[in-house]
Structure formats: C-alpha cells, structure tokens
Amino acid sequence: MDHYQYSVEDFAADPSFRAWVFKTDAATSAWWDAWLSAHEDKRPLVEAARELVLHLQFRSERPRLQEMEAVRNNIDALLSKEAPAPDHTTPAPDRTKNKVFRMGTWTAAAASVILICTVGILSQHRGKVTTATGYGATRKITLPDGSTVALNAHSNLSYSKDWTTEKGREVWIEGEAFFTVARMAAGNSAKFTVHTKGLDIMVLGTAFNVYSRRDKVDVVLENGKVLAKGTGNAAQAGAVSMHPGQMIHLDSSRIRTTEVNTATYTSWKDDRLVFDNKTLADIAHILEDNYGYEVIWKNENAKHYPFTGSCPASNIKLLLSAISEVNDVKITQKDNQLIFE
C-alpha cells in the first residue's frame, strides 16, 4: 500500500514507522523524515500515529486493531482542535482542573506533547560557578576542560570558577547528572572528582550517571573506569572500583554493586523515561523529585505494583495514562497533587 493512503492504524502497525518513532535504524529514520517533508499535509496524521505507537508500547503483546482504533478515536478528538505553538517553557503541574487518567476518559492525553525546558539558572559566588534547573527542566553544560554534563530536572551543579588543568578537576552535584569526562593530554594527571553527599566519584575519562537524592547515591557507569569512595558518615563504606554496565548504590553507609542495563538509568538525558519492572513507588519519586508533583496514596498496595515501559520525558500525561491502564489504577490530578487510588 502507498504510504500516502495509510490510516493512523496502518502507520502504527508498520514496522518501519515504529522504527522511525523509536529511532532504532538510521536509514529508516532518514526515509521517513524525507517522506514527511514531502507530505506536510500528512503531518497531523503521522503525529497522531506516533502518539498511538508511544501509547501502545507499554503492552507486552502486539496491539490488536480494535485496541488501536479505540486509542485513535480519542486522539482524533484532539486533532480537531488547533494546538498552540510550543513555547519552550517548563511544563508545570496543572493547578486549574482535576483530571482522571483512565482508559476511555483520559486516553486522549496520549496525544499531548510538551517540549522539555532547557533553561537553567547560572550564578557565580565566592569562586564557584553554580547551575541549577527547575522542575521539568534539563540543561547541557560544558565544563572548562571540555567535559560535558547533562543536568536533570531539579538539580544543582557547581564547580570552581578558575578551573585549570594543573589542578584537580572537581564538581559538586545535588540531584542527578550524566557526565562525559574529557581525557587530558598525555602527561597531565589532573583527576576529575564528582562530590556528592556521602560519596566521591573519581575518574580519568569516562561516561557515567550520578543520582544523589533522598539520602542515597547511585552511580551507573556507561564506559570507562570509576573509583567511588565513601566520605563523611559513609567513610566506613570504603572504596569500590567500577566497570561498564555496573551500578553502585550507597545507602545507610553501605555500598552495594549490581549489574544493570545502563539505558534504564541514563535515557532521561535523551528525553526518554525507561522503566524496567519498576514499582509505582519508584516512579512516584521521579514525579516528585523531577516534576514537582506531590503523590498521595489512597491505595497503599499500588505502591508495589510493577511497571515496564518508556515514554518521552516531556510527556508525563502519557506516562500516567499508561500506568492507569496497565495497573488498573485511577490517578486523579488536583492542583499539583497526583492521587493514586
């Protein structure tokens, strides 16, 4: 069938279209980009199909045509309305309405796309440069030595204003950040150290993720070498050397090491949230820490429900809709509160 004649469901069921949505094949992505540029009149149809694919990816089995049609009907309702142009502002909790995320009543939320804010706060004080991000915002930072940092939402990064390669390279992080550390020229031994509450991470050239919140620290190593050493009250935890694909977890002055799929911990820097059998309680922490919501549990058992899936980091409505469907949980938004019942 000619792609020009495709319906929303046809697009969503096309393997090459799904590869374009998830960017799993460069050649396929390029073909669809070119096709869309040549058929701008089909963009609303393609965007609707894209949201349909994203919405249905939370199911482990292949979605049936009837299921795609049910979701498409809700998406069509939004397509008939003129959408405002994106303004690149921070997506804040809606404080004007109560919303219930359930199949049939709020599935149309799958068509809502919000661009993530990349604006941060930069200040200089007493020889340090500090960058902070607000709720729902991320920022890319280039350090004086050429190292780069992707700073996650509601996080704070600081480093020395006068940073020279002759001295040790040091940064301090509160929240979450992904570091890509530049290697120094041969003969230069300036170490790179990331300071967190209770843990110092020392590297020479590597890429890794640091999470420092709620009195715990997680370090996930994507490539290179890292030495993590307990500090302060956690000094008794000692030091641990890491290899790629490993995560260390500091909690209650104890370091634990596990093998992990690094993508589930670092995908946020590419504007995606990936969950692999995470509990709803774990996801609630992300909603609170990164997006500023207050999560209230009227169904305490729901805290332990597992969830697997992924969605754009800038589309929390899609995530809530999927959680509601997969776990049969009603989620009501009241101001900045999310009520699970």
- How many domains is the chain built from? 3
Q: What is the CATH number of the domain that holds 275?
A: 3.55.50.30
Q: How confident is the model at residue 90 (pLDDT cuts 50, 70, 90)?
A: very low
On whether both 125 and 241 belong to a single domain, the answer is yes
Q: Are residues 246 and 315 in the same domain?
A: no
Q: Are residues 170 and 288 in the same domain?
A: no
Greatest mean pLDDT range, 73-77, 111-115, 135-139: 135-139
Q: How confident is the model at residue 82 (pLDDT cuts 50, 70, 90)?
A: very low
In three-state secondary structure terms, 226 is strand
Which residues are CB-contacts of 322 (< 8 A; sequence separation ≥ 6)? 55, 58, 309, 311
Residue 70: per-residue pLDDT = 47
Whole-angstrom distance, CA of residue 52 vs CA of residue 108: 10
Q: Do 234 and 151 share a structural domain?
A: yes
Contacts of 248 by beta carbon, 8 Å cutoff, 6+ apart: 218, 219, 228, 240, 242, 255, 256, 257
Structural domain including 158 reads 120-264
User: Within a 13 Å sphere around the CA of 210, how many CA atoms are in the beta-carbon half?
Assistant: 32
- Categorize the per-residue pLDDT at 165 as very low, low, confident or very high, splitting at 50, 70 and 90: low
**DSSP of 37-55, one letter per residue?**
HH-GGGHHHHHHHHHHHHH
Ranking 27-41, 59-73, 222-236 by mean pLDDT, the lowest is: 59-73
Task: Find out whether 174 and 214 touch, Cβ atoms under 8 Å.
Answer: no
Same domain for 193 and 65? no
Predicted local confidence at residue 91, as pLDDT: 46
Report percent pLDDT > 70 for the chain: 70
Examine the fold and report which residue of 83, 108, 130 is the final residue of a domain before the chain moves on.
83
pLDDT of 67: 45
Q: What is the pLDDT of residues 255-314, one digit of tens each?
A: 889 999 898 899 999 888 888 889 999 999 999 999 999 999 999 999 999 988 878 888
Boundary-marking domain end, from 83, 105, 130: 83
Tell me: do 237 and 299 sit in the same domain. no
Residue 5 has pLDDT above 70, yes or no: no
Measured CA to CA, the distance from residue 99 to residue 77 in angstroms comes to 17
Q: Write the CA distances from 297 to 48, 187, 290, integer angstroms.
A: 33, 56, 19
Are 131 and 210 within one domain?
yes
Do 105 and 124 fall into the same domain? no
| Proportion of the chain above pLDDT 90, given as a percent | 29
Q: Nearest to residue 79, comparing CAs of 108, 38, 114?
A: 108
Residues 221, 237, single domain; the answer is yes
- Residue where a domain terminates, one of 31, 60, 83: 83
- Dump pLDDT digits (tens) for 316-330: 888 888 888 888 889
Instruction: Evaluate if residue 252 carries a pLDDT over 80.
Output: no
| Domain CATH number, residue 205 | 2.60.120.1440
Q: CA nearest 336: which of 303, 291, 300, 305?
A: 291
> Is the same domain home to 215 and 140?
yes
pLDDT score of 86 = 34
Backbone angles phi, psi at 55, to 5 degrees: -70, -40
Is the pLDDT confidence value at 146 over 50?
Answer: yes
84 or 18, which is more confident?
A: 18
Determine the pLDDT at residue 8. 61
Read off the pLDDT of residues 43-52 as tens digits, 9 standing for 90 and up.
887 877 777 6
Residue carrying structure tokens 């993530």: 116
What are the tens digits of pLDDT across the range 17-38? 877 887 777 888 888 888 888 8
Q: Give me the chain's average pLDDT, please.
A: 76
Higher model confidence: residue 167 or residue 311? Answer: 311
C-alpha to C-alpha distance for 13 and 27, rounded to whole angstroms: 19
Choose between 107 and 21: higher pLDDT. Answer: 21
Task: Please give the Cα distance from 33 to 36 (Å, whole number).
Answer: 5
**Residues 19 and 130 occupy one common structural domain:** no
Res. 247 pLDDT band, cuts 50 70 90: very high
Angle between helices 26-38 and 15-22 (to 10 degrees): 100
Bigger pLDDT: 93 or 136? 136
pLDDT band at 124 (very low <50, low <70, confident <90, very high): low
Same domain, residue pair 158 and 42 = no
More confident residue, 207 or 98: 207
pTM for the complete prediction? 0.66
